[in-house]
Amino acid sequence: MKKAGNVIMIALALGSLLFFACNDENKETKGKWNPGPIEEYSITPINGGATITYTIPNDEDILYVMAEYERNGKIFTDKSSVYKNSLTIEGFHNVDKVQAKIYKVNRQEQKSEPLAVEFTPLESLISIAKKSLKVQAAFGGVFAKWDNPEATELGIRLMMKDTIGNSDKLITGEMYYSTTKNEKYTFRTYDAVETDFAIAFEDKWGNISDTIRFTTTPLFETMVPKPYADFRSSIPYDNTTNLGPNFPFSNLYDNKVNTSAHGWLTTSGSSGLSITFDLKQVVQLSRIVRHPYHINSLYGQANITDFEAWGIDKIDYDKIDDKSYWLDSLSVRWGAIKGVDATTVLPDKTFKDDWTYLGRNTVPAGLTSTEQNALSASGVESEVPVEAKPVRYVRIFVRGITFITPPPSTNYFSSSEFTFYGDTKVPQN
């Protein structure tokens, strides 16, 4: 037993020696590591910043490369893994020279000697957005479009003059965020009276563009009063079916949205991908909003996820009997109309030569559950082209359901509600 005890004591002693030796070695390494700066590099200016490309020395102890610089009076640091050979510095609003220091950092968090660099950023993205901004009066508000070439996160703030106290102060009406390269957006819910507006852009680094002021009068917009009328039986090739008495076509305009199993459904195996509404008055349409069938079911059921709309102010009843005039090429080619062969040659002139195109309404893909639920409640909106003529009759063509395009040959599709907005004060025929 005494011999075994001696062996244990010797092993502990050796372990202690190794431990202190390793610690001494680590301390020695930490004290000695002081490499020179990065030597091979190039700088490429970008909008609001620059990308610095470099060669990293073959040193296994280097953990990352770090940039240190000042922006808007504050010191910032950006890091890049050793598995990359570049580092991007961005977020500058002004086209002024920027100075930065680039370091190699080892596994003991020691910095190398700095590489001092200098660059002049290209024009910032919020400056580009501001210069490209175009605004005009829209139905119920202001239509704006702008460029964002790098699809960065931008906020656009619509403001208006504070009419209380006759001050020059601006108050925020709406803040909209976008990452779209060529964005178009309509700020709504404003009265049709002359108003002093202003717009400013903001980026994720806290930069704010100069404020653009303008005066305009939003166009009058209101919801077209319901109920609408079912005009399907008057138009050749419309789908005139209802899936039983509990799902009549009138459910599409009863103002009940995002509820359980309430809406209109076709009969599976029926004919036709089109339906027609009679708005009961001539309207300069501004937008169309569709709600999905069943609660929070934007993608589910047999919901229409893509439709095309056409409209006209009055029907030429002399053409009702000319059935070929009412054919839609996609409905024919997809074999969606019973009794009409998919190879049928359409006439030189169809209803589309007389009716006005009202745009396309498409459900966005890739939404989260929260986003789907929000859009189910608010409805999927599409804007009607501003050049569209006033209409009374609107013909809808289904182009996809639950992201199946074309719709299945059974012609089974559903929806909960259609709502039309626009100017109802236009002359009536």
Same domain, 239 and 287: yes
Q: Return the SS3 of 313.
A: coil
| This prediction's pTM | 0.77
Same domain, 208 and 233: no
In a domain, residue 18? The reply is no
- Provide the 8-state DSSP code for 192: S
Out of 70, 88, 119, a domain closes at 119
Residue by residue, pLDDT tens for the chain (429 residues) are 444 444 444 444 444 444 444 444 444 444 456 588 999 999 999 999 999 999 988 888 899 999 999 999 999 999 999 999 999 999 999 999 999 999 999 999 999 999 999 999 999 999 999 999 999 999 999 999 999 999 999 999 999 988 776 667 899 999 999 999 999 999 999 999 999 999 999 999 999 999 999 999 999 999 999 999 999 999 999 999 999 999 999 999 999 999 998 999 999 999 999 999 999 999 999 999 999 999 999 998 899 999 999 999 999 999 999 999 999 999 999 999 999 999 999 999 999 999 999 999 999 988 999 999 999 999 999 999 989 999 999 999 999 998 888 888 799 999 999 999 999 999 997
In a domain, residue 309? The reply is yes
* Count of the separate structural domains present in the chain: 3
Q: Dmax of the chain from CA atoms? A: 118
Out of 198, 216, 234, a domain closes at 216
Same domain, 253 and 367: yes
Same domain, 260 and 347: yes
Same domain, 200 and 150: yes
In a domain, residue 355? The reply is yes
Same domain, 237 and 258: yes
Same domain, 354 and 322: yes
Q: In this predicted model, what pLDDT tens digit does every residue of 57-102 receive, in sequence order?
A: 888 889 999 999 999 999 999 999 999 999 999 999 999 999 999 9
Same domain, 97 and 192: no
70 C-beta neighbours (distance < 10 Å), count: 11
Instruction: From residue 125, give the alpha-carbon distance in Å to each of 155, 175, 204, 352, 428.
Output: 11, 18, 11, 41, 47
Rounded CA-CA distance 104/82 in Å is 9
Same domain, 189 and 261: no
Domain residue limits at 147: 125-216
Out of 187, 216, 245, a domain closes at 216
Q: What CATH number should be reported for the domain holding residue 202?
A: 2.60.40.10
Rounded CA-CA distance 306/407 in Å is 10
Q: Return the SS3 of 11.
A: helix
Same domain, 251 and 384: yes
**How far out from the chain centre does Cα 26 lie?**
52
Same domain, 136 and 256: no
